[in-house]
Chains A and B, each alone.
Chain A
Amino acid sequence: DVKVTQSSRYLVKRTGEKVFLECVQDMDHENMFWYRQDPGLGLRLIYFSYDVKMKEKGDIPEGYSVSREKKERFSLILESASTNQTSMYLCASSLVFTGELFFGEGSRLTVL
């Protein structure tokens, strides 16, 4: 079974703090994604990466950055957390050939 592991299930941070969300997949998938899930808004793409050191902006990249130094790991960084970044963050990975996304369990971030 494909396993996508997100480092933290629940985080509480203060406004202005730097936040790191890490995601690791164990199936040698080329593609990795970060989504944000909010009620009524679905899954909104923040960034995705199709190869090591490659990244593409999604629909809501403002206030976020990403890092992919190794194929299995994709990190989401909030340089200066704000209250409107309180949300559920979902990481996913996929093979380019098949396209099926495998999601992590999610990281629920609260910014106070």
Chain B
Amino acid sequence: GENVEQHPSTLSVQEGDSAVIKCTYSDSASNYFPWYKQELGKRPQLIIDIRSNVGEKKDQRIAVTLNKTAKHFSLHITETQPEDSAVYFCAASWNNNDMRFGAGTRLTVKP
């Protein structure tokens, strides 16, 4: 089955700096790559996703890039704010089915 690896496990940045989280996947058939944010004590929620026919997608301060050849994708958060502090999970699946997640990155944004 699919195996998703995520780095770093923890990331601390100053408010206003950028944050980058990277993931690799093993199954070349995977074609859907979402990112979820989980705030403390809450359920994970989708923040952005990308499909294999697209190389980059942006939504305000967050962007995701995908390199299918290298089988890796990254989350970029610019102008970080304290409310961006959370655990972020990347995931991969084929045709929106069995979704596999990375181990998560705990992002801390210091005021």
Residues of A that sit less than 8 Å from B by CB: 31, 33, 35, 40-45, 48, 50, 56, 58-59, 90, 94-101, 103-106
Contacts and interface: CB of A to CB of B under 8 A. Distances in A.
B96 A94 contact: yes
Given A48-B98, A58-B1, 13 more contacts: A31-B96, A42-B102, A43-B89, A44-B101, A45-B100, A58-B98, A96-B96, A97-B96, A99-B99, A101-B34, A101-B46, A101-B99, A106-B43
B43 A50 contact: no
B1 A99 contact: no
A35 B43 contact: no
Nearest to B33: A99
Given A43-B89, A59-B1, A90-B43, A96 B6 contact: no
B34 A100 contact: yes
Nearest first, the 5 A-B pairs at minimum CB distance are A99-B96, A42-B103, A103-B43, A43-B101, A42-B104
| Chain B interface residue bracket vs A | 20 to 34
Interface of B: 1, 6, 9, 32, 34, 36, 43-46, 49, 89, 91, 93, 95-104
Contacts of A33: 99
A94 B95 CA distance: 12
B75 to A, nearest CB: 15
Interface centre among B6, B9, B43, B89 (most CB of A within 10 A): B43
A105 B100 contact: no
Contact of A59 (B45, B89, B100): B100
A87 to B, nearest CB: 15
Contact of A42 (B1, B6, B96): B6
A80 B18 CA distance: 47
Contact of B96 (A44, A98, A103, A106): A98
Given A40-B103, A41-B103, A42-B6, A101 B36 contact: yes
